[in-house]
Structure 1
Amino acid sequence: MQLNRVACKECQRRKIKCSRQLPLCHQCTTHDRQCVYSDAQRTPLTRKHLNEVENDLECALQMLRRAFPDMDIDVAIQLLRSGGDFNAVIPVLLCTLLLKFSGIMSPELSSENMSSPRPKSMNILLLVDGPRIEAPVSGNVVVGLELRNFANSHNLQIPQFLPPSVDLSRLSSQMVGDRVRSPFASSPSKSYDWDERKLLRHDSRPTIIDGMATTVSNSYLGVTSSAALLNLVGVGYFLHPIQPELKDLEFLKMPERKILEENVTNYFSTYHISYPIVHKALFFAHFNEIVPPPPCWKSLLYIVAAIGSFMSATSAADHADLILFDRAKQNLSMEDWETGNLTLVQTLSLMSNYLQLRDRPNSGYNYLGIAMRMALGLGFHKNMDDSEIPLFDQEVRRRVWWGLYVFDCSQTITYGRPLGVSCNGVDTRLPLNIVDSSLTSSTTQVPKDEELPTIYTSLRLQALFHLLTNGIYERIISEPLPSAQSLLEWDTQYIQRWKGMIPDYYRENEQVQPEYQLSHAVIHWRYRNLRIIIYRFFVLKRQYELGQSLQDEYEWRASTVCLEECRATLQNMDRFWKSKTAYNRMDAWWSLYFLIHAVMMPLVCLRNDPLSIEAHSWRNDVGIAKGIITKIMNICPPAVRILDLIEKVSAGCFTVMEEASATHAIPNLAPEEAPLSQLMQLHLMLWPDPL
């Protein structure tokens, strides 16, 4: 028997006891009266009812906080109380983990549109003492500013702006030390302490080599990191490190001069072609004791040999570089940190990159920071045309500075962290595109650039690429988050502008000499990789909204561009590997680095919608990636795990199943393995638990 909560209107009028039966109470049925219950019911003002409500509320809040441990539930409640749209607030709670940590949050789902308007974006230069500049603001873009620095004076970058969490109108009223955070900002539930020390003992074995921080769990990795993408799709697959089989390191002896010379030669035939941080002729003059070596040169020798050994290795079990790196560290002392010279900057920058390659990203990040600060202290970022410094020394300083700049930008994007170096105050020119014989210590006139590939061509183009595109990267890791329309406009204005600056002899389809094949390919892989990163959110959103109304025109274009760049990257990489007759670890490392981003988006699309009309293309993309990985996995251990991940995620997606339902679900897919569930795991990956 169903009862109403209050008496009917007739019983209330007659002030008699009502049985509250539905649809008619006993009194009205007996006396043939019209029984009507009021729609508007008053809340019982009793302690019993209040206790029930409080208990229900507490249970609901506990469930929400457990489901969304990093969401600010209180802010959502306040938004609803202040008149926020329920249909806009709830999707944020359900989708913010996917949207925000995937790279970019959709403007219509951001908390910005549900709360009071934020203060307009302000250029950081407005806080500098001096004349104030009125900055017209259009959407998320700050325009019309005369910026007083090298990069922006040439319209190279999107102007910087203060994050929305900095409200200048409130700073004066806040206590020192108060933390300002925007609604729904994630709060890390643990510290990011890390320890990457690896002792060269017989019982200590190096972890798997990938250089993308896929096995480091206790450091901050942002939304653009490769580790973020891998563990998003693989549901934490790469948070559990494995150790490769290798011989005990105790058998590695101190290398003789012959071994050192062999590894140094390997360095200059592989790594140096892409990153000419040291001058080859001068280095060998020091090595052969023709010229007295400068301070700290012994450490530089061993790190050069270590990188040469690592990059030229053709077997996954070759780890002779570890003893060389240990020697490089032993030749540095704490007193060296209180000095500053070119050799030490070169040593630290190479150590930084080596540590990244050896999957010690945070250690390398620290070394790079010291090298960059030391270079700034030595004035490498300034143009010295009018000084008494010889032309040769000036050019070496430029090469080292822009090499450091490229290292810093590429590591920053790899880990998804804020940029460490601004272009403010940087006015040194890019390195000359010359052969080494054109500039020696006795040269008195600046040589002309060569119209052909040199070892400095790639360095120049990479530095210019980051100069033009770093502003876009800063926007996609910050709030307010840009729309697809803004990103497409910036793509045309900055990324395509850079592409037009590539000389004819270095364009994508041009044939280059064998020694330049990798550096030539990396330039174009890097260009496509950035476009994949900035647009992949819209691919994820497109899959998330599968079956719903059509996307915004710009969002559809953005997602299409992302998938096209994934396909172009894989096809270009496939041609690169088909043209190779001999492989080394440097070729494999760079290929895997860019392949991860390129294969994951088609893989997610195929997993989520295997019956799409585009599924055939996605299968081809994934198939090409698997073919490339098969070629390199013998010398690149992480490739085995990437292939295993692809196989697991794409299981059942390579054959079209007639019995599949109209919802495009895969019959053998368990609910806990659903594509959306995988995407929602991104938050757990970005804030991983300790191993």
Structure 2
Amino acid sequence: MQLNRVACKECQRRKIKCSRQLPLCHQCTTHDRQCVYSDAQRTPLTRKHLNEVENDLECALQMLRRAFPDMDIDVAIQLLRSGGDFNAVIPVLLCTLLLKFSGIMSPELSSENMSSPRPKSMNILLLVDGPRIEAPVSGNVVVGLELRNFANSHNLQIPQFLPPSVDLSRLSSQMVGDRVRSPFASSPSKSYDWDERKLLRHDSRPTIIDGMATTVSNSYLGVTSSAALLNLVGVGYFLHPIQPELKDLEFLKMPERKILEENVTNYFSTYHISYPIVHKALFFAHFNEIVPPPPCWKSLLYIVAAIGSFMSATSAADHADLILFDRAKQNLSMEDWETGNLTLVQTLSLMSNYLQLRDRPNSGYNYLGIAMRMALGLGFHKNMDDSEIPLFDQEVRRRVWWGLYVFDCSQTITYGRPLGVSCNGVDTRLPLNIVDSSLTSSTTQVPKDEDLPTIYTSLRLQALFHLLTNGIYERIISEPLPSAQSLLEWDTQYIQRWKGMIPDYYRENEQVQPEYQLSHAVIHWRYRNLRIIIYRFFVLKRQYELGQSLQDEYEWRASTVCLEECRATLQNMDRFWKSKTAYNRMDAWWSLYFLIHAVMMPLVCLRNDPLSIEAQSWRNDVGIAKGIITKIMNICPPAVRILDLIEKVSAGCFTVMEEASATHAIPNLAPEEAPLSQLMQLHLMLWPDPL
């Protein structure tokens, strides 16, 4: 006989005892009444019911702990209580199974167990059940890649996945209250709130100046972000504060005209050659009060001086740019945000790039958004040939627009975020490749392009590069990841097409004047960097499938192209640093920015397969990178941390071949060094949660 949990509505109304029989109770059957049970059943507020619930819960917890002895049930419960998705807990539970089946031992296991043979590794892609997406896995298999949810918990640290060189006590020291800063970049969290105001205060410590957000930040970093990859391979290495010597900045007083003039001159001799956002002659006319300055010009003056001070610095102790930037901000007010003019757009765009240089990525990202919206409101994206705007002013507007466009695309790719500006409706021409004397305020005819390098050559080529390749970028940050065949076809159709548009005087092996050496090198580093980004998934997949059957032909080609571009970037960069006798921060910043992308893939390959026939070339690549970083350290000492990371990750990989030859045996890697454990972490970066 089946009973309902509560009395029927009729018995409740008459306040008589109900037999609770289904489908009709005894009272309603006897008196021929309509017996209806309520769908919404309230929990009985009795001690008996509470005891039953507590007993059931205890039994369930005992079953879970017995089935998953290594699983912290309290962490999973806390995740659910804080609003986490129930499905996010499943990968955490299944990960314990992965540890057991793959032989990745937990620290609690005895040395006797650790000495036992490791069982055959299981395919981690088939262990996790979740939303299934199309992925380029051999045999056209559709696999679940919900593994990224593995890092959903703030409190989750997996010591088994950390290489032996990592000090676990350092990681545990990152706890703030109940929260642990996870080394897995951009793992899902309650929020991506961030506060970068303190990073430029006088009591702050300088960070690695790479502009890639490698320091602690809660902001979203996507699939193309090398900060995510760097912190992942380094298992949170850059989440630790650095402690260099920093003199008190209070001694810096209000800059006098002589100091301003010196830094402005440095700006035009370094930064301006790559990004001609302001017109040099007009700027000095305002500076010397020959022409009355426009509104907001004082803020523009200080940000130009700040960038000039930062870029021309040859010592890590030179932080005068911080005061200059502070002055630039002080000369802007909230009322200025309610205006729109060329000078303010120039100021905001330069502030944005400066903040990225100073490793305040999200602040710079915000400034850039304001500048871009203001430029759109001023019509910089439209062609104005038929207007009454003078040719000189039209050309300046074009330079500012395409400079903003390059900044936006570059920062977007750096942080792995969706593109902020669509080219729909943009019809303004690229800047002319001319010398400044060819176009003045009195010019009435458009001058012809010069067939030689100018300060506008790099800007034109970078803008054209992003115009042709942004479609590829949008595809690789979306799921599913495009197949290797599609990427190779797009490479030929768009990237190689852009490469063919480079003028002969600016090709990779051409000698350019000393002032154009950096902008010339950056063009080719950027081209190779995008190819590294779009193909590096297949390098990781190739390492993951070591020892398995033949890989897909297109995937093999894609991974080969990635490693070739890493090598070419490092070799080109090595020639660049050997060809110069004097360096500045701009040289160091750009080199470090692209070097991190280029060295990570050979480093991962070398660590996972040190006995490969290609291992020696990977060692050479890593060696070149270490040599370049050694030179960069003279200008940017915190870069030693990247060198330290390379040393730690590659520990033992440079001598493993000699050891194998001497003993005629393949040395055993520690369980934590296994490709499975490392590549499992890498999937968290390659398949991030969308914004």
TM-score interval w.r.t. the shorter chain?
Answer: 0.7 to 0.9
Deviating more after overlay: 109-118 vs 234-243: 109-118
Quick check: 1:485–1:554 contact (8 Å CA) kept in 2?
yes
Residue 158 of structure 1 deviates from its aligned partner by: 40
Secondary structure in 2 aligned to 1:566? helix
More contact order relative to length (CA 8 Å, sep ≥ 6): 1
Quick check: 1:351–1:367 contact (8 Å CA) kept in 2?
yes
Residue 671 of structure 1 deviates from its aligned partner by: 2.3
Query: Aligned pair in 2 of structure 1 residues 552, 306: CA closer, same or farther (>3 Å)?
Result: same
- Residues of 2 paired with 1:435 and 1:111: CA distance? 72
Query: Aligned pair in 2 of structure 1 residues 236, 134: CA closer, same or farther (>3 Å)?
Result: closer
Query: Aligned pair in 2 of structure 1 residues 553, 378: CA closer, same or farther (>3 Å)?
Result: same
Query: Aligned pair in 2 of structure 1 residues 70, 218: CA closer, same or farther (>3 Å)?
Result: farther
Deviating more after overlay: 353-362 vs 665-674: 665-674
Residue 251 of structure 1 deviates from its aligned partner by: 1.2
Query: Aligned pair in 2 of structure 1 residues 110, 140: CA closer, same or farther (>3 Å)?
Result: farther
Residue 217 of structure 1 deviates from its aligned partner by: 2.3
Deviating more after overlay: 42-51 vs 299-308: 42-51
**Residues 151-300 of structure 1: matches in 2 within 5 Å?**
188-198=188-198, 203-300=203-300
Quick check: 2:88–2:150 contact (8 Å CA) kept in 1?
no
Quick check: 1:111–1:184 contact (8 Å CA) kept in 2?
no
Query: Aligned pair in 2 of structure 1 residues 662, 37: CA closer, same or farther (>3 Å)?
Result: farther
Quick check: 2:299–2:331 contact (8 Å CA) kept in 1?
yes
Quick check: 2:130–2:144 contact (8 Å CA) kept in 1?
no
Residue 206 of structure 1 deviates from its aligned partner by: 3.6
- Residues of 1 paired with 2:124 and 2:543: CA distance? 37
Residue 233 of structure 1 deviates from its aligned partner by: 1.2
- Residues of 2 paired with 1:21 and 1:572: CA distance? 84
Quick check: 2:186–2:228 contact (8 Å CA) kept in 1?
no
Query: Aligned pair in 2 of structure 1 residues 482, 98: CA closer, same or farther (>3 Å)?
Result: farther
Query: Aligned pair in 2 of structure 1 residues 440, 549: CA closer, same or farther (>3 Å)?
Result: same
Q: Deviations over 1:81-107 (max 9, x none)?
A: 999999999999989999999999999
Q: Deviations over 1:5-34 (max 9, x none)?
A: 999999999999999999999999999999
Corresponding position of 2:600: 600
- Residues of 2 paired with 1:680 and 1:149: CA distance? 12
Residue 668 of structure 1 deviates from its aligned partner by: 7.3
Query: Aligned pair in 2 of structure 1 residues 133, 516: CA closer, same or farther (>3 Å)?
Result: same
Q: Deviations over 1:82-136 (max 9, x none)?
A: 9999999999998999999999999999999999999999999999999999999
Q: How does the TM-score come out when normalised to structure 1? A: 0.74
Residue 656 of structure 1 deviates from its aligned partner by: 3.3
Q: Deviations over 1:408-441 (max 9, x none)?
A: 0000000011000000100000000000000000
Corresponding position of 1:322: 322
Deviating more after overlay: 25-34 vs 545-554: 25-34
Query: Aligned pair in 2 of structure 1 residues 202, 119: CA closer, same or farther (>3 Å)?
Result: closer
Query: Aligned pair in 2 of structure 1 residues 408, 343: CA closer, same or farther (>3 Å)?
Result: same
Secondary structure in 2 aligned to 1:230? helix
Query: Aligned pair in 2 of structure 1 residues 333, 86: CA closer, same or farther (>3 Å)?
Result: closer
Residue 317 of structure 1 deviates from its aligned partner by: 1.2
Query: Aligned pair in 2 of structure 1 residues 366, 97: CA closer, same or farther (>3 Å)?
Result: farther
Q: Deviations over 1:284-311 (max 9, x none)?
A: 0000000000000000000000000000
Deviating more after overlay: 466-475 vs 172-181: 172-181
Query: Aligned pair in 2 of structure 1 residues 78, 155: CA closer, same or farther (>3 Å)?
Result: closer
Quick check: 2:91–2:150 contact (8 Å CA) kept in 1?
no
Query: Aligned pair in 2 of structure 1 residues 661, 493: CA closer, same or farther (>3 Å)?
Result: same
Q: How does the TM-score come out when normalised to structure 2? A: 0.74
Secondary structure in 1 aligned to 2:34? coil
Deviating more after overlay: 290-299 vs 200-209: 200-209
- Residues of 1 paired with 2:470 and 2:103: CA distance? 15
Query: Aligned pair in 2 of structure 1 residues 42, 393: CA closer, same or farther (>3 Å)?
Result: closer
Residue 246 of structure 1 deviates from its aligned partner by: 1.7
Deviating more after overlay: 13-22 vs 284-293: 13-22
Residue 492 of structure 1 deviates from its aligned partner by: 0.3
- Residues of 1 paired with 2:165 and 2:631: CA distance? 48
Q: Deviations over 1:297-332 (max 9, x none)?
A: 000000000000000000111101000000000000
- Residues of 1 paired with 2:146 and 2:92: CA distance? 38
Quick check: 2:185–2:685 contact (8 Å CA) kept in 1?
no
Residue 144 of structure 1 deviates from its aligned partner by: 31
Q: Deviations over 1:451-475 (max 9, x none)?
A: 0000000000000000000010010
* Number of equivalenced pairs: 691
- Residues of 2 paired with 1:553 and 1:217: CA distance? 39
Query: Aligned pair in 2 of structure 1 residues 35, 564: CA closer, same or farther (>3 Å)?
Result: farther
Residue 205 of structure 1 deviates from its aligned partner by: 3.5
- Residues of 2 paired with 1:625 and 1:610: CA distance? 18
Residue 255 of structure 1 deviates from its aligned partner by: 1.1
Q: Deviations over 1:322-369 (max 9, x none)?
A: 000000000000000000000000000000000000010000000000
RMSD over aligned CA atoms reads 16.4
- Residues of 2 paired with 1:244 and 1:255: CA distance? 26
Corresponding position of 1:17: 17
Residue 245 of structure 1 deviates from its aligned partner by: 1.4
- Residues of 2 paired with 1:240 and 1:576: CA distance? 31
Corresponding position of 2:492: 492
- Residues of 2 paired with 1:485 and 1:131: CA distance? 24
* Identical amino acids, percent of aligned pairs: 100
**Residues 402-417 of structure 1: matches in 2 within 5 Å?**
402-417=402-417
Gaps of 5+ in 1: none
